[in-house]
Amino acid sequence: MIGRFFFRLRSFTPIPLILALIYFSHPTSISVLVGAILLLLGEWLRLWAVGYAGGATRSRTLGAARDLVTTGPYAYMRNPLYFGNLILSLGVCVIANVYWMIIVLIAGYFVQYLPIITSEEAYLRQACGSAYQAYYTAVPRFVPRFRSYANPSTHEFSRSRAFKSEKRTLTAIVCVLALIVGRALL
C-alpha cells in the first residue's frame, strides 16, 4: 500500500530536497567536475534502461508494464532506473557541494524506493509468474553483476524511445543545474 502511494508520487517527492539543495549550494570547480561525472553516469544508465523498457517507466500505476524486460541493463540488475536515479542525484549533490544532503538523499531514497520495489516485485511475480521468479532469483536488485541474465527478453534498444521517455528528466536536470549555477553567481 505505501509502495503504491510512493510510486504515484515518486516524481514529486524530490522537490523539497531539490529546493534545499539549491538554497545551500556553493559549487566549486572540483565539485562540478566530480558531480558531473556521477550525473552523466546516472543519466546514461537511465537512458540505457528506458531505451529497452520504453514509456511504461513513466506510468503512475504499476500495471503499465506489459511484459518482463530482462535484457540491456535489466540483464545485470533488476532496478537500473532507480539505481541510475541514485547515482544521478548523488552527482547533483556533489555538483552543489552540499555533502550533508547525500545522507538525506540516501535515507530518503531507501525510505521511498524500497516500498516501491516491493510493490513492483509483488506485481511482477503475479503478472509474470515463474519467468519473474527465475529472473528475481538470478539478478540482483541494485548491485550490478558482471555476467548477463541467461534468458534475456527480445526487447530491443531504441535511442528515440530513450530520449522521448527521458525528455522530462533531462529538462529537470538542466533546470536544477541552472538554478544551482544561478545561486552561485548571486
pLDDT digits (tens, 9 = 90+) for 42-67: 999 999 999 999 876 655 555 555 68
pTM of the prediction?
0.89
12's CB contacts (< 8 A; 6+ apart) are: none
Cβ proximity of 52 and 157 under 8 Å: yes
Residue 2's pLDDT is what? 76
d(CA 72, CA 150): 12
Across the chain, mean pLDDT equals 90
Helix, strand, coil shares, percent, the chain, to 5: 75, 0, 25
- Mean pLDDT calculated for residue range 75-97: 96
Options 3.30.565.10, 1.40.20.10, 3.30.40.230, 1.20.120.1630; which CATH number does 2-185 get? 1.20.120.1630
Task: Supply the pLDDT for residue 56.
Answer: 62
Q: Is 67 exposed, middle or buried (0-12, 13-18, 19+ CB in 10 A)?
A: middle
